[in-house]
Structure formats: C-alpha cells, structure tokens
Structure 1
Amino acid sequence: MQFRAQFKRIAAFSLMFAAAAASHAQTAATFPTKPIHIVVPFAAGTTTDQAARYVGQKMSEQYKQPVIVENKAGANGFIALQYLLQQPADGHYITFGTNTTHAANTALFKKVPYEPVNDFVPLSGVIIGGVVLVVAPSTPANNVQEFIALAKKKGRLTFGSGNSSSRAGGEVMRDLANIELVNVSYKALPAAITDVIGGQIDAVFGDAPAVMPLVRAGKLKALGVSTRARMPGYEDIPTIAEQGVSGYETNGWIAAFAPKGTPADVADKLGKTIADIMRTPDAAKYFGANAWKPIPMSRSELAAFQKTEIARWARLVEKAGIVPE
C-alpha cells in the first residue's frame, strides 16, 4: 500500500517534469509570440543603432514579428541596461551591448548599477572595428604628427567622447604622445561629431561607421585610424601607430545580450539567429563598407570573449591614466 502511494507520487512528479520540459521546449519552438525589442544604449545614428536596425530588420523577416529598436541613450549605457533588466526575461527584450556597457564601464566607474556578466545572458557577437581620429576640414593639421604639433603649440586640444572607444581613443593618444588632450563627455557620439564640425571642440575619435560617411562628404577630415593595420577600404588613411605614436591601438565591438533569466533554449535560438545573420555575405558587405567586420559567436564564445575584454579594458584604462568617476 505504502509502495503504491510512493509509486504514484513518483509517477505524478515525472509527469509534471515531462510536462514542464515539453512546455519549455514549446516556448523555443514557438518563440517569438510578440514583437521583439532591441534596447540600444546609445542614440540614433550611432554604430550600435545602425547595427541594431540592420539585424532587427533581418530578424523581423525571419521571425515574422516586428522588431522594435528602442534608443535609451545616456550615462554610458546605465539608463538602457537598467531599463532592460526591468523587462520580462522571456527573450522578447534584448540589448545590443558594447565594449562600453559590457566591459569598460567596470573600469571607468567606481559604481556600476548592474553586473555586466551575471545580470545578462550572452547571445552572439555582432561587429568589431576601430575608431578614426577626425577633425573639422578647417583644422590646420592633415596628419597625426601635425595634430600633435598643433596640440603642443596651443597648449591643449579638446576631444569629444560618447562611449568608451571614443574616450579611450583620446586618452591613449594623450598618454602616448605626451600632449594635453581634454575630454568633453557627451550623451551620445553624434552630438560630439556635430560639435567638431561646428568648431566647439577640436577632435573626435569616432567609430568608423559613424564618421566615415561625413569624411566622404567633406564635412570631416580623417587623420588616422586606431587599428593595428589600415582599415579595409580606407587604406589611404594611415594608422595612428605608423604615424609615430608607437603602440597605439584601440577598437570597439558590439554584441547581443538578453536579461538574466531568459530561458536557455530561447537564448540559443536568438543567438543562432543573430550569428547566422552576421555570417551572410550581405552583412559582411554592409558593415565592411565602413571598415567594421561581423563577429558571429556562439553563446559560450561570447561569454569567454567578454571576460577577456573586461580584463583588457581594465589594463587600458589604467595605462591611459583614466581616473574612475
């Protein structure tokens, strides 16, 4: 009698477990059931925004659901990620994080209102690339050495930043070239770029997709690129390192993350979808037009990459002499 009762309890538990597993599997099989929101920590027109809109359109075509890009700029991504973590962790809200939000912030700030590893689920890498030192066309400097000479002549120059890549670009230059470069922080990089064009600040170390269209239009002048080798498609622009600033190299990246608690099978589906999009020739062509390249990754590869990048940015911030705010 007691054995039969125990057997029934075990059988009931097994049925409940099987039903829960089936329901969970069905969640991934039927996902998404409503619009997906990509929360972007930076303003419209930034590289992150461009990437989210490109990938979002491809996801919408595949999933047959709208994909809505929500720009929530400000505070180096704090606003966007705090907002994201308040949303349901069911896969319908994700973010396109960057080296700023998911690596550098822990070194740039004494207190960060989220945990970049434990509060998120990695999905896939998106793109990686360098920054470009740009100035107004009227600036009396046509290369990096002339820019350095101008800074020494004037005593100091200003540069605008709207993310960690643009901030590090100037701070590393200041340190390695031994010149006075003063950072002016902006809510978003496009505002800093506008002020360079208008003459309010002297320079920007901007993401290539954000600044190169303006260089081609004659509204900005490119002096050098931050990557180790010259950028594909822009081989006429020398690297900053080859122009006499030995050891100079910075870059930025974008990757997709979901809030902690997102079901693993849903995260797997999202990650595979994004990675597959980034493996297409169309993605390579679209982002390669501005010298950034796709970096599709598995979820485990992105997790390992992020941890390496957190350590790399900590070293970079320390080397550049940036004091955490």
Structure 2
Amino acid sequence: MQPFCRRSILIACGIAIFAGSACLLAGTAAAENYPSRPVKIVVPFPAGGSNDIVARVVAQKLSERNNGQTFYVENRGGAGGNIGAEAVAGSDPDGYTLLLTAPPPLTINAALYRDLRYDPSTAFAPVGLIAAVPIVLAVHPSTGIKNVSELIALAKAKPGTLFFGSSGNGSTNHLAGELLRSMTGIDIVHVPYKGAAPAMNDLVAGHIPMMFDNIPAVLPQVKGKNINAIAVAGSKRASALPDVPTISESGVPGFEASAWFGLVAPAKTSAPVLAKLEGDIDAILKMPDVQKRFDELGAEPGTVSGAAFGKFLTDETAKWTKIIRESGAKVD
C-alpha cells in the first residue's frame, strides 16, 4: 500500500473515532444535564381516570428527584389513546416529551385500528412498567345483580338490552367485556366513552347498568356505596377488595384480563437519558409514600424496566391480539 493511501486511511479512521467519541460525550453530557427544562408527560386519555391519577403521582415525584425541575401531565385524549401516542412518537427524542399510558396505544390498537400513523413496536423506547392494576366488573345497585352468574342469567334472558360502558374503543376495559361476551355467549352491548371518568359518572348515575374499570377509579365509588363490585377480571383477587371473587372463580374458568401503566419515550432517545429515567422511576417506585399511595389506589408498583419492559410489551401485544381475534372485538 502506498504511504499516501495508508496515511489517508489512518486520517479517516481518526476522524471517525473522534466523531464517535464526540457523539458519546455529547450524549453523556446531555444525560448529566437532563432535565434542564420542563418535561411533558403525555397521558393519552382524559383527566380524572386511573391513567391520569397514576401519572400525576409519578410527575410529582420525578420533579422532586430532579431538584424541582417541572414534570407536568398533558392530557391528549381521543381515538383510543392514538392521538396522544402519535404526538409523542413524532416528538424530538430528547427526553422532554414522554408517554405514560395504559395498554391500548402500545399493545392493543395495532390489532384494532387500520389507520395508525405510528408503529407501536418501533415508535417508542421502553422506560418502565409503572403499575399493574386489577380490572373490576361493577354494576349499578338498581340492577339487583349480586354476582356474575346473575349477570349472565339476566343477559341471556334479555339479549341485547344490557349495556356495558368503557373508557373507549380498544381499552382493556372494553376488551374485558368482549372477552366475557365471547366466553359466555351472552349478548351485551358496548358503549364507548371518551375516557373512564365520564363512563364512571354515567354508571354512578344509573345511565348504564355495568362497566369494567380499573380499580383506582372503582374503589372510591364502591366505598361510597354508589356502585357494587361483583368480580375482579384478573387471575387473582385484588388485595383492596379481598371479598370480591374473580370472574374465573365465578363460573367463567380461565377468564383473565388486567391493566397496567407504562412509561415510554420516543424511539432513538439516547441511552444515557433513558438510563436516567429508568433509575429515577426505579427509585420512585420503591418510595414508601408512593407504595402507600398505590396501595390506596389498589395498584401494585411495576417491577420491570428497559429491555425487560420491552419484552413485556411484546408479550402483551401477542396476548391482546389473540383475545381480539378470538372475541371478534371491533372498533364501534
């Protein structure tokens, strides 16, 4: 090889190494200074629901851990969570716009909506599972329904007349109802709302007879005797409602549906920033006052982050896609 060529190659390699080192140093510096301005946490559902309640607990604690730097919640509801999720997917991957969401935008909507403008499997970088929450089947006291068997009997006696509300099309609460319909052969009618809060308001008012909802929103109404919890949709009873049986042990063996809330950032967010967020979330979920607050809400702090949370999302996507196909659930 000619000396000139060898020298050119060495210079090129030196430039590449320098550029790579500069990028690494820039990323490290960004993480060390992160956050240097307010961070927006998008909740893709209306205020007042379980997702919103959990997000505000996390935002407050993130702010406290970062010397008072502002972390604030922005509710961007609509289209089953797709509007808020799409906004975050298209944001700069700098850690200043995050998504804290229930399952639909990340693991459900791709199987329900044909016109998604983002790919849930590639649009986000996983940060961590924030909380797992049981789904509760609740009825208005005026129905007189005391358990799942009575509900099924009423639905079979009067097909097409029993309406169930949910926080929206494609929500875990909607799909829990579709799963119950599929597994029992009953004809119940879905009524999608623009968020869990307005659906719960209508249940409390007696405008709808039943709904599936996450336990943080259900507990206050059960304690106030405004609604009756007749079953838990998960595989085990909820510690906050120990006397309420699961749907599986109430005559529908194998029934299982649960909800959770997870935090993600736009894809291509730098590894140092993601690591900073993961560390903060891990510390927050171990705080006694956070654990106490989650316990009051009936939620359990998350236990996976980073790549493990990414694997969790993949598994959840496969589970809900199967449920959607087998139940025939559709966007109303």
Pair in the same fold by TM > 0.5: yes
Is the aligned partner of 1:113 residue 2:117? Answer: yes
TM-score by length of 2: 0.92
Query: Which shifted more, 287-296 or 216-225?
Result: 287-296
Is the aligned partner of 1:82 residue 2:89? Answer: no
TM-score by length of 1: 0.94
Task: Give the corresponding residue for 1:131.
Answer: 135
Query: Which shifted more, 257-266 or 15-24?
Result: 15-24
From 247, 262, 267, give the equivalent of 1:240.
247
Distance in 1 (CA, whole Å) between partners of 2:16 and 2:232 is: 61
From 253, 261, 264, give the equivalent of 2:260.
253
Deviation at 1:67, TM superposition (A): 0.7
Give the match's secondary structure for 1:141: coil
Deviation at 1:149, TM superposition (A): 2.1
Distance in 1 (CA, whole Å) between partners of 2:110 and 2:89 is: 18
Task: Give the corresponding residue for 1:172.
Answer: 179
Deviation at 1:262, TM superposition (A): 1.0
Is the aligned partner of 1:18 residue 2:21? Answer: yes
CA RMSD in angstroms, aligned pairs only: 1.8
Deviation at 1:197, TM superposition (A): 1.7
Give the match's secondary structure for 2:137: strand
Deviation at 1:317, TM superposition (A): 1.2
From 29, 49, 54, give the equivalent of 2:57.
54
Is the aligned partner of 1:310 residue 2:314? Answer: no
Question: Amino acid of the residue matched to residue 306 of structure 1?
Answer: L
Deviation at 1:110, TM superposition (A): 2.7
Query: Which shifted more, 59-68 or 13-22?
Result: 13-22
Task: Give the corresponding residue for 1:39.
Answer: 42
Deviation at 1:58, TM superposition (A): 0.6
Q: Determine what percentage of the aligned residue pairs are the same residue.
A: 33
| Residues 126 and 256, structure 1, Cα contact 8 Å, conserved in 2 | yes
Give the match's secondary structure for 2:208: coil
| Residues 132 and 205, structure 1, Cα contact 8 Å, conserved in 2 | yes
Distance in 1 (CA, whole Å) between partners of 2:52 and 2:10 is: 57
Unaligned runs of 5+ in 2: none
| Residues 142 and 206, structure 2, Cα contact 8 Å, conserved in 1 | no
- Per the alignment, do residues 133 and 9 of structure 1 end up closer, same or farther by CA in structure 2, a change over 3 Å counting? closer
Is the aligned partner of 1:102 residue 2:106? Answer: yes
Is the aligned partner of 1:276 residue 2:283? Answer: yes
Is the aligned partner of 1:157 residue 2:186? Answer: no
Deviation at 1:252, TM superposition (A): 0.8
Question: Amino acid of the residue matched to residue 190 of structure 1?
Answer: A
Deviation at 1:233, TM superposition (A): 2.6
Give the match's secondary structure for 1:81: helix
Deviation at 1:87, TM superposition (A): 2.4
Give the match's secondary structure for 1:214: helix
Distance in 2 (CA, whole Å) between partners of 1:110 and 1:17 is: 40
Large movers: runs of 4+ above 4 Å: 3-13
Distance in 2 (CA, whole Å) between partners of 1:171 and 1:7 is: 64
Question: Amino acid of the residue matched to residue 186 of structure 1?
Answer: Y
Give the match's secondary structure for 2:252: coil
Give the match's secondary structure for 1:247: coil
Kindly provide the CA deviation profile for residues 178-224 of structure 1, in whole angstroms up to 9, marking residues without a partner as x. 21110011111111111112222221100000111111111111111
Deviation at 1:117, TM superposition (A): 1.4
Give the match's secondary structure for 1:289: helix
Give the match's secondary structure for 1:311: helix
Distance in 2 (CA, whole Å) between partners of 1:153 and 1:225 is: 23
Would you say how many aligned residue pairs link Structure 1 and Structure 2? 325
Question: Amino acid of the residue matched to residue 38 of structure 2?
Answer: P
Question: Amino acid of the residue matched to residue 31 of structure 2?
Answer: A
Unaligned runs of 5+ in 1: none
Query: Which shifted more, 120-129 or 152-161?
Result: 152-161
